[in-house]
Amino acid sequence: MTEGKSNKPIVLVLLAVIGCMVVLVSFAVPLYSIFCQATGYGGTTQRAEHAAANVLDRVMTVRFNADVDPHLPWDFHPMQESVKVHVGQPKLVKYIAKNLSNEPITGHAVFNVTPQKAGLYFSKIQCFCFTEQTLQPGESLEMPVTFFIDPDIAKASNEGDVHTITLSYTFYRDVESAEAKTPTDKTSGADGGKKLALAVRQQ
């Protein structure tokens, strides 16, 4: 009995440690996302409600890149290879996507910029990546992006050598939407229609 009682504190400590680990894991992804947004880590861009208050004389080149996951049968590419913009100047560019399959597909885009240290100063006002995109069979869609480079980049001591920024997107198939569209109602279709007609006749 004495040995059993002495083990209780150890068991409680282990349970507490396991509980803390579960909580940390569940919050790891959102906390990491917040960290990336706040620091621009990994080339994570920023989101802005409106354009910068001032435009600088400094001109930078922004290049555009597009990739598609092999599981997504879409063609996806930028409508321009690059643009030159003044720091602080809002700029509208477009990508275009086409569904090459014979079924509706929903996709979502992930993004980053290089060099990664420029992510803290690359702000998007409007972007197709903010929401999921659904394309019907054979449908093409122009996807706008409105961005600006934050004038604070001129104050950063480690950004003086940045003259070109590359904005990259990768589209992935949305698995949850695909699963949601899988038919599970056995009364649908022709069989469902027959059952409904039989029920009406019986009434």
pLDDT digits (tens, 9 = 90+) for 56-92: 999 999 999 999 999 999 999 999 999 999 999 999 9
- Do 7 and 105 lie in one domain? The reply is no
- Do 59 and 151 lie in one domain? The reply is yes
Q: Does 198 score more than 60 pLDDT?
A: no
| 3-class DSSP state of 169 | strand
Contacts of 43 (CB under 8 A, 6+ apart): 112, 113, 114, 115, 116, 118, 119
Calculate the dihedral angle through the C-alpha atoms of 69, 72, 74, 80, rounding to the nearest 10 degrees.
Answer: -20
In this predicted structure, what is the pLDDT of residue 133? 96
- Do 106 and 53 lie in one domain? The reply is yes
Which domain covers residue 134, as residue numbers? Answer: 42-180
Band of the pLDDT at 48, cuts 50, 70, 90? confident
Average pLDDT over residues 107-111: 95
Ramachandran area for residue 40 (φ above 0: left; ψ -120 to 50: alpha; else beta): left
Q: Does 197 score more than 80 pLDDT?
A: no
Average pLDDT over residues 130-159: 95
In this predicted structure, what is the pLDDT of residue 181? 53
- Do 66 and 18 lie in one domain? The reply is no
Question: Pairing mode, if any, of strands 133-135 and 105-114?
Answer: antiparallel
Nearest to 78 by CA among 163, 169, 174: 169
Residue 81 lies in a domain: yes
Nearest to 105 by CA among 78, 133, 77: 133
How many Å apart are CA 94 and CA 99, to the nearest integer? 17
In this predicted structure, what is the pLDDT of residue 116? 92
Say which residue, 188 or 152, is predicted with more confidence. Answer: 152
CA dihedral sign, ordered 155, 160, 163, 168 = negative
- Do 50 and 34 lie in one domain? The reply is no
Q: What is the mean pLDDT of the chain?
A: 78
